Amino acid sequence: MSAGPLSSRFSHIPLPQKEGGGNSVPCHVALIMDGNGRWARARGLPVAAGHRQGAEAVQQCVRSAVQHGVRYLTLYAFSSENWRRSSEEIGDLTSLLRFYLRHKLNELHEQGVRLRVIGEPERFDSALRDELTRAEAKTLNNTTLTLTLALSYGGRADIVQAARKLAVRVANGDISTSSIDEAMIDDVLQTADIPDPDLVVRTSGECRLSNFLLWQSAYAELVFLDVLWPDFGEAEFGDVMARYAVRKRRFGGRPQ
């Protein structure tokens, strides 16, 4: 059974209000972290150095989100298409993620951050999967910020798996095809337990979503920055918060 529209499912979350109505702080910010390789190459460094600096930027981003009162932060950490990269780069990325889960988890926990994973974590090695499971379990009851890592994630694949779940329910006679609506699809996406993003940010100057949260971003505000991800810090986070605060979200309605 559908849990109802997102607006009612998450209506208990208090947010700062804009003058004249509307939220001045996005409840959910989603980030496409792009530019690690270009950052490294511009400095004559190996790509792994860019990923390490990018991981430091993630820490700053999480702290900034907490300070600004953001409740949900989703990071496009590894797309389903990233498996096309070299085995060396994939190894660097997974080793770095495993390192930060081992050595930075306590800091996240102390900040009240809940860590969760969407995508296909089963495609990674058992050591990383174990670290992810441990991190999710340790932070399960934290409520300050929900940090979602999209790992081996693709927006189209998410919609496909949702369609398959509903097809099984139709085949079993639990629902009819005519009863399927948007709320029902919401409930079988991997993001069913969090609100849709209010703001999607991409760094590095690219202006596309690259298969990230396609269904969920239907009415998100989009911000594309020229800054490369390793240079994304507190000032840049504050900048996108300021840009969001002056946006007028109409959700298809006429301007007031």
pLDDT tens-digit readout, 7-38: 344 444 444 443 334 569 999 999 999 999 99
φ, ψ for residue 206, nearest 5 deg? -80, 145
Is there a catalytic annotation at residue 130? no
The mean pLDDT of 179-184, rounded to a whole number, is 97
Task: Name the pLDDT band for 84 (thresholds 50, 70, 90).
Answer: confident
Does 224 reside within a domain?
yes
> Is 204 domain-assigned?
yes
SS3 of residue 29 by DSSP:
strand
Q: Taking a C-beta distance cutoff of 8 angstroms, is the pair 225, 244 a contact?
A: no
Q: What is the pLDDT of residues 104-115, one digit of tens each?
A: 999 999 999 999
Query: 1: number of CA atoms within 13 Å, CB side?
Result: 1
| Number of domains making up the chain | 1
* Residue 113 phi, psi dihedral angles, 5° rounding: -90, 130
Per-residue pLDDT for 123 more than 60?
Answer: yes
- Average of per-residue pLDDT across 29-55: 94
Using alpha carbons, list the distances in angstroms from residue 35 to 29, 57, 98, 223, 239: 19, 12, 21, 15, 18
Using CA atoms, how far apart are residues 57 and 62, in angstroms rounded to an integer?
Answer: 9
Catalytic residue among 23, 82, 142, 211: 82
Q: Give me the catalytic one of 34, 92, 158, 196.
A: 34
34 is catalytic: yes
Answer yes or no: is pLDDT of 2 > 70: no
> Is residue 100 in some structural domain?
yes
Check residue 244 and report its DSSP letter: H
- Residue numbers belonging to the annotated binding site for substrate: 35-39, 51, 79-81, 83, 85, 202, 208-210
The binding site comprises 34-39, 51, 79-81, 83, 85, 202, 208-210, 221
User: 103 or 155: which carries more pLDDT confidence?
Assistant: 155
Look at 215 and 7; give whichever has higher pLDDT.
215
Give the separation between CA 13 and CA 34, rounded to whole angstroms.
Answer: 30
What is the percent of the chain where pLDDT is above 90?
A: 76
With respect to residue 110, please indicate whether it lies within any of the assigned structural domains: yes
Neighbour-count burial for 4-35, b at 16+ CB within 10 Å, e otherwise: eebeebbeeeeeeeeeeeebbbbbbbbbbbbb
pLDDT at residue 140 is higher than 90: yes
According to the model, what pLDDT value does residue 252 have? 67
We report the CATH number of the domain holding residue 101 as 3.40.1180.10
pLDDT of the residue at 92: 83
What is the pLDDT of the chain when averaged over all its residues? 89
- Whether residue 238 is predicted with pLDDT greater than 60 in this model: the reply is yes
- The answer to whether residue 123 sits within a structural domain is yes
Mean local confidence (pLDDT), 111-132: 94
Asked whether residue 215 is assigned to any structural domain, the reply reads yes
Domain limits at 123? 22-153+199-245
Residue 77 lies in a domain: yes
Question: Where is the binding site for Mg(2+), in residues?
Answer: 34, 221
Neighbour count for residue 140 (Cβ, 10 Å): 10
Nearest to 180 by CA among 194, 193, 170, 168: 170
Q: Cα separation of 198 and 72, whole Å?
A: 10
User: Considering the domain boundaries, does residue 179 fall inside one?
Assistant: no
